[in-house]
Every structure is written in structure tokens, then in C-alpha cells.
Structure 1
Amino acid sequence: MVAELDKAAAVLPLTPQSNGLNADREYGRATKGMALAVKARLLLYAASPLYNGNTEMAGFRNADGTALISQSYSQEKWQRAADAAKAVIDLNLYSLYKDPGGDPVKSVQGALMEPWNNEQIFVRKDNSLWDWDVNAMPRQAGGWCGIAATQEQVDAYFMKDGRSIRESSLYSETGFTDVNGVQVFNMYINREPRFYAAITYNNSIFQGGNMSAPAPVSFFISGPNGKNGHPTDWSKTGYLIRKNVGPQTNAGSGGNGQHQNRPLVLFRLGEIYLDYAEALNEYDPGNAGILKYLNLVRERAGIPQYGAGDNPLQVPAGQAEMRTKIRAERRVELAFEYHRWFDIRRWKIAPQVMGDLHGMNINQNNNSFYQRIVAVKHLWLPGSYWFPISQYELDRGRLVVQNPGW
């Protein structure tokens, strides 16, 4: 696959080519950057614990006895992954999107929402983002309350001082703060900009769909988006996802609006920066590039950096602590962009992070709502690392070996 991607990158244009007529029709077509970005993600996965020296998969072999998962750890795989990510960066074609007005919330929103900006490497022009919008919007906006964030993801966001909720003195789970006449639970106060760009929480202000004016969103059981108001369209956790939701998409008029010219972002520079930092930390811990690219992501997000900028945080001590910080950053920066499920498997942490997932108490009104309860139970089985191969394929290709656990 890497060889094929290299061949493609060698002949693809740096930017979409056109003859000057209907140039926008070329947007979304394959470029050199696309091929190199796919290669970078591929090699990052190949270097990760699930595939790199995973002795738990020693019995996963072809019919001829060939091991299908590498049984010996190779640090060189991390170097290849780092080099591949750096190759995308060194094209000097892409830059992190920043709001012209300097608003960090709008900056992180715009990376996905602002069509064809310079952070976007690989996008899908024809997509169903309007469906995402309607599912993620509250019923107040004509949406379906269908895509809920977990409490675990809410807890993953940093505070505005750049520290986790476990490290920051700003975090509180008691009391309320008046925000423009609305009582907001202190759990949601003083959070980082990416939290406000990504999560619709109880009494947060929202305007979208068929709403004519901004209004607080309530997930209380008897509230306008609560469990009692509809047989199916309610959040199991008391949250909805706000990230990459086009507020102009109007469910009441058949889904017309902002989605019409918004591409679905599949690869962007923020991911490549974090790919590079992760791979570099594994094969060359202490390399200055690790902090450089990790901090570029944090700087755009509007939070303090490690060892640099205003109010700097202490630089992570050693490879293991840096690994933890990079993974935490990745969970927040790339949330709801189709990465987490792959990350927890390639890192082999899925058994630890699956299981009981929580939310607020959606069966209550008023202050009783604000308590963690189990929202859903996920049973993790080892076979879940990969999909099963269908019996049809096994029958027609007698040399095909079933994936482990199936």
C-alpha cells in the first residue's frame, strides 16, 4: 500500500488543476498531499502496539504458518511514520486554520466548517453532512437529539488554563454560575475553547435549524429536548455534539442550508501534527519537534502551551508522560472526527476505556439532573479489534483465515 501511495504521490498535482473554467469542480480531487496524508496515517497505525510486536497475536497466522501480525517490535516503524507525517508538513501547502478575528472557538470550528481552507488536505465534496447536522441538533432546532457525547469525553476536555480537570484548580462540580441570565453548572465553566465548540450541554446557548433566536438548551426529563417529550429523539447522556454541526441546516425545510457547500474533512493538518508528535516521541524522545507541533495545536486552540508562550505549563517529563499528553491532546483535538475508535484499538487500550459509559441523570429535572449515571454499557470482546470476515469469503477463498475471536 505504501508503494502504491508513493507512486500516486509522484504523479499527482500539488493542487487541483483546472483550465480556468469551473475551477471549483476540481476541488476534492486527488492531490499529492492526499496521497502522502493517507500514507502517514497508514504508517502510524502500522507502528502502533496492535500491529508492532503484538505477541498476543502470535497464533494469528496464514494457512502456511506466516504470522499476520508482526511478532517483533521495530522502532524503525515509528521513524517511518514520523518521516511520512513530516513529508506532508514539508509540502508547505497547509496551515492551521485561524479565525480572522482571533476567536479560538471560531478557529477550531472553522477548521472543519470553513470550506476549502488551507488546513484541509483530503475532503469529500459530495457528502451527507446535512444528516449529521440534523441528528446532532436539539429538538428545539428541529433536530433529532440523536448524536450524544459521553461524560468521559466531556471530562477529557481541558480547562482554560490548559490543565486537565484532575489537575486544574479551576474545575468544580458544585454550584452554578450565572451566564447572561442562565444558570450554568460549574462543571461547564472555565473550560477550554474546544469544549464550547464541540459540546452542547444543559443550558448552553444554541441557535440553528429552525430556531429564530438563540436559546438555552435543556435536557431535563420534562424539558424541550428531554426524554418525556419524544419516544426516541432524546440524548441518553444529557449532551449533544456541536462540533461540525452547520447551524444553517434547517430540518423543517428538508435539510437545506450550509451543508450544500461544506466538504466533509477526512484529513487535516491538525491530525498530521499530532501524528508526527506521537511517532517522533516513540523513536526519538526529547526531540524538539515533539513539543513544537504539540504546542502549535494547543496554541490554535487558545490554551497554554508546554514550556512556551504565555502562562506556560511544565514540559512533560520523559517519554511516558509525553505519550500520555499527546494521547490526551489527540482525544480532544480530533474528537468526533472518526479517530477515537481506531486509536483505542491501535494503542490496545480499548478494554480499559470501554465498559460503562456515563452521562448526566436524564431522568431528573432541576439540580438532580447534574449527577453521573451509567448511560450505556459496552461489552468489549477481544474479537472486537477487527471485523469478522464473512463466511461467504471464507468458503470461496479457502486460504483466507478468520480474524481472531470470531
Structure 2
Amino acid sequence: MSDLPRLTEPAAHPPAVEVERLREEMIEKLRELGAVRTAEVEGVLRKVPRHVFAPEAPLEKAYAAEYALVTKKDEDGVDISSVSAARVQAMMLEQARIRPGDRVLEIGSGGQNAAYIAELVGADGQVTTADIDPDITGRAERLLARAGYERVKVVLADGEGGVPEHAPYDRIVVTVGAWDVPPAWVEQLAEGGRIVVPLRMRGLTRSVTFDRVGDHLVSRDYELCGFVPMQGVGENRMRLALLHEAAGEEVTLKLDDGQQLDAHLLRKALHQPRTEVWTGVTIGGYEPNDNLDLWLATALDDFTLLSAKPGARTRGIVASVSPIGVATLAVGDSFAYRTVRPVDEERTLFEFGVYGHGPHAKDVAERLAEEIRTWDQEHRSDRARIEAHPAGTPDELLPAGRVIDKRHTRVTVSWP
């Protein structure tokens, strides 16, 4: 593993008036983004000094709504630990609805989020934060002490097993990307308790608010998010199928949940002339489309994600680039992916379309376009219901919808 960046000791305390100004600007921005919705969360954002937990960052960055501080990379330069952006932290705190007196477990340590939780639970509550990496727990412990939160219990442990010695928990907040929900998390959660977890389903990660109902979990909410992947026993990274490998122009398909495809045939398909299908479905320039992608992942057996470097779009190899991947249908020797085009000069309205490649590009593109229209006509205003049942649960006891089998659970995604 790469060394953790050395913690810096500030030469002097930053001016209080500057900290207050930046903090208020951050909170106002978080309100605009819808990340802060309650007085309780807004209150803790004012109490916890963010700059203490990001001594390596300029003050403006520490109080930026969308800035995530990477605290460790692996030997390949991949981010493996970070302090999440204020927007993501606020969003998950709102999802968790932590109350005074709650016992809370955080899986994935940074210190800052644990301090927020400590303020929410108050003197009668308990906060445990756990991480598999001693560098990270050591950093969290030092910064929590520096900020005056010594009462937070910092534990070195593989998050897969939770922290049984301080259970049961009213809330479990997972701040690393998880592919599954280990039994320990459900077992250590009090009846009626809540887990907030960035759960990956068919390549898509959503911060899911799960409430415990007996032996399984039922979603109450979910939000688009991105996190560094979980390490240890629960690690399960996505696989990549390379379709184009020129430096700066790489194009890959992201494979999840045991998905198999013929990369050789799809590499050939990428360099064949593309087929275009336009759906007639429009979306506003600032309107999110993450619920569309979740519908496509639910409806299509061969759903995957197309990932490409910006150079691939510049060269015209692909038309769409996204850091999290573009919704794609890959069938045999052909594939098609979602794209958009502006329909007004002001570029405030866009039409969804599909670009297909390969011998059967037209059929695959039409199939993807059909599901985009179905989403628009039947599910555009809907929210999916996500459940996590123990592995081995018979099909007849699961709700109708997409079943995603994982090591410990059978995750279901269903729509009204």
C-alpha cells in the first residue's frame, strides 16, 4: 500500500471570520443542492470544524460542497480512502435520520463524518467508527482528538464483520462502496434500525436507506453516489472488458454480478458504422437521469455500462462519456448505449437517443430505446423499491422484479 500523506499541523489557526464565511457559503450551497433538508443536519455542519479534518487541503477546498479529499491511494494509484464531499456527507446524514441517544456504527473512517454523527447522537449516544486500514484509523483518531471528539470509539476491523462488541446499533452508516450486505450488519442492527449503504447493483451504486424488517432490509430512499470500494473480505471490484486501447482513448464495458460477454466480438463491433435511434423522450438540462439508468438495469438482462476516456469522444469513437459509465445493452456481437442531443438552441432540453454498433446494432438499439420509452410512459415519476433478503430465500418469497444474487443476499429491485 502507498504511504498515507503526512498530516500537516497548521502554523496558525485560520481566521474565525473566514471560516464562518466559507462555512455559511457551503451550507447555502448544500441547501440549493437539496443535500441539507433539516435543521439538525444544518446545525452539525456549523459545529464541526471541517478544516481540522482536512489539514492537507486549502481552507476553501475544506469548505467546498463538492470537494472530496483523497487520503490514500494503492500502489497502482487507485483511490482507496477519502474524506467524502460535504454534499455526500450531508445527504447520508439526512438519509440516516440519526436521533439523540442513538448507538451508531460507521464503516469506513475519516473522522469528520464520525464527528457529525457524535453531534447528532449527543452525550447520551454512542459512536463507533471502524476501518480495515491502520493508517486510516490512526489518522481518524488523531483528528477526532484534535477536534475534541475523543468519545468516538475508533476500531481497527474489517467492516465485513461489523463491530459486535458495541452492538446493537440503531443506525449503521457505510461510507465505502459495498457490493453486498453482510449478515453481521443485519444481525448487529436493532429491530427497526436503519442502514445507509452505497450499494452496487448491476454496476450502479446508490446510497440506499434500508430499514430492518425481521431478517431482511427494505429501502425507504436511495440517492446517486460514488465511493471508494470496500476492502477486505467484502471486496468485489468490477471487471473491465477493453474495447479500444489507444492511450487516452480507452473504451471499456464494466461487468458486474458475474456478467459474461464476448469482448472480442464487441471490439470488432465498436469500429463498425453506428446505428442511431431517437426516442422522442426529452429531459431538462439539469434534470437527473439516474432513475432511468436504474430502470434500464432492472428491465434489461444484458445491461452493462460503457466507460470511455474523453479522447475517445474527441476522436468520435463514442458519443458519450461519463465517469460512472453510460447505460448500455450488450447482446452477443452487438451493443448499444444511451446518448442525448439538444432540441433547442439554448440547450435546455435534450432528447434521449441510442447509438448501436455491430451486426445486430439496429435490433439492440431499438430494444434499449423501447425501455427508455417505457420508463418515460410508466415509471418516470416512480421510485424503485429495493430489498435485501438472506441468500437462499426462495423465489416465491421475494417481491416481483429484478433479482440480483450476491454472496450473502438476494437483492430485489421492483417498480410500482
Higher RCO (C-alpha 8 Å, min separation 6)? 1
Please indicate the TM-score interval, normalised by the length of the shorter structure.
under 0.3
- TM-score, normalising length from structure 2? 0.22
